Amino acid sequence: MKDGALKKWLRGLVYINDQIDTDEAAARIKGNIWFRGPNVWILAFSIIIASVGLNVNSTAVIIGAMLISPLMGPIMGLGLSLGTNDKVLFVESFRNLLVMVMVSILAASLYFLISPLNLVNPTELLSRTRPTIYDVLIALFGGLAGILESSRKEKGTVLSGVAIATALMPPLCTAGYGLAKGNFQYFIGAMLLFMINGVFIILATYIMTKYLKFKEAEYSDPQIARRTRTLMSIAILAVTIPSLWSAVLMVGENNFERNVQGFVSENKNFGQGYIYDYKIVSGDVRKVEIYYAGSQLSETDKEALAKSALSHGIGEGRLEIKESDFGSVDKTTDRLLKGIYDRAESEIERKDARIEELQDEILRLKGNDINYKRVTREVRYSFPEVKELSIGKGASVDDSLKVKDRTIVIARSEKPIPDPRLNKIEEWLRLRLDDTTTVVHNITDK
């Protein structure tokens, strides 16, 4: 394929303008920003459904609530307003989103206040309080997919997938849980996750709106038009700069956590003891505290740990070693017990895996067992010229020193067996032994 033809083929593959209707998309997005009538009830119902799902750790119920929720409408409206310099749309979208958020948090708070369920380990709730760089990427590419789906002429099910992936509803329910239980750590973490999701969906919608060349809002007064564009530009910067900065910070946090996990995994069993737990301490400078149990570490041991930490990207002075004192019961007891349990569990898993490997090997060897007496009798009955048969497992090595498994058969006879007949014996044995590597050699008494 020539370069010109290849470029033409690629352009035809990714070209989308003939399948896009921006006017219809803009009208649809504007129609979905309003929070009144059925949308109020739908939002309230979806909030309760999502809260129940979070309360009982049911992923399926949470997904159902995300499909029902109308939260995506005003968020995409904000992105569209920034891309088309539509001040009126921006104000209306922001107002409706604010009311939706307040209603969602209030409904979730009321549910968790009256709910008799109180999980000891609410994993689904807890997972909505720790934003990561993955949430940024999901929100950004989910938003791009969402506005593209809204803009194309033939509608599919992409918006449903975007609603599930970006997960706007669960963080608001978790924030409501935090308020109801007085747990402001949950509230702040969940609201941060919601804002990250919302901001990057807005940013994605803005980018795609510009790329697809949506029609900009028209103003009769040029001065008002300039003022509106200025205000929209400021709003775009207010959205973009903090979101990009938060993404950079999250990348740093994610990399640091990965480095710490690698360091701890490599030094889990160190010297005459082991690291049974660790904690990442956030602040001006991220640090890691490791909890060590066993014989007291010497200065040489500590230097070795510090050197290993440096090799894993944990800077100098960012590692703090806390050694446990078995002679006293203090705050590290729980961590110590947890570490002992984790180590025992890890050792059991390792041994179980080894046992399984050995069992598989035994089964394999049993499967290779040969009933030599029966095979020999069958060969001598089918091929009377064979007086004695020797069967063994072996190997062959070629010129490249590559080793191949072989089943080697020695057929003894009074006089040489002709090649056609020997080949027939070999084919018969390959079928009988179910082994295509079988090779037959003939030896004679003379």
Predicted pLDDT of residue 156: 58
The answer to whether 13-217 and 372-444 have equal CATH topology is no
Q: Which two structure tokens, joined as six digits, stand for 146?
A: 């969402």
Predicted pLDDT of residue 20: 75
Best CA proximity match to 50, nearest among 68, 73, 32: 68
Q: Which of 101-115, 167-181, 317-331 bottoms out in mean pLDDT, i.e. has the lowest?
A: 317-331
328 has a pLDDT exceeding 50: no
Q: Which of 50-64, 73-87, 326-340, 417-431 bottoms out in mean pLDDT, i.e. has the lowest?
A: 326-340
72 has a pLDDT exceeding 70: yes
**Residue 52 and residue 170 in contact, taking contact as beta carbons nearer than 8 Å:** no
* Structural domain 13-217, CATH architecture: Up-down Bundle (1.20)
- Mean model confidence pLDDT for the chain: 76
User: H or E element: which one contains 343?
Assistant: helix 333-367
User: Can you state the angle between helices 87-114 and 222-266, rounded to 10 degrees?
Assistant: 40
Mean pLDDT across 190-204: 83
225 has a pLDDT exceeding 80: no
Predicted pLDDT of residue 89: 86
408: which strand partners?
Answer: 392, 439
327 has a pLDDT exceeding 50: no
Q: What is the CATH number of domain 372-444?
A: 3.30.300.30
Residue 91's contacts (CB-CB under 8 Å, 6 or more residues apart) are none
Mean pLDDT across 429-437: 81
* pLDDT band, residue 226 (cuts 50/70/90): confident
Predicted pLDDT of residue 413: 86
CA separation for the pair 433, 296 (Å, rounded): 60
Q: What is the CATH number of domain 260-340?
A: 3.30.300
Mean pLDDT across 218-237: 71
Q: Which of 121-125, 234-238, 291-295 bottoms out in mean pLDDT, i.e. has the lowest?
A: 121-125
Domain parsing of the chain, residue ranges: 13-217, 260-340, 372-444
* pLDDT band, residue 11 (cuts 50/70/90): low
Mean pLDDT across 197-219: 82
Strand 273-281 and strand 287-294: pairing?
A: antiparallel
**Which runs of E-coded beta strand occur in 132-286?**
269-270, 273-281
Is the entire prediction scored with pTM above 0.85? no
Residue 153's contacts (CB-CB under 8 Å, 6 or more residues apart) are 19, 20, 21, 24
**Which runs of E-coded beta strand occur in 229-374?**
269-270, 273-281, 287-294, 319-323
Mean pLDDT across 82-108: 87
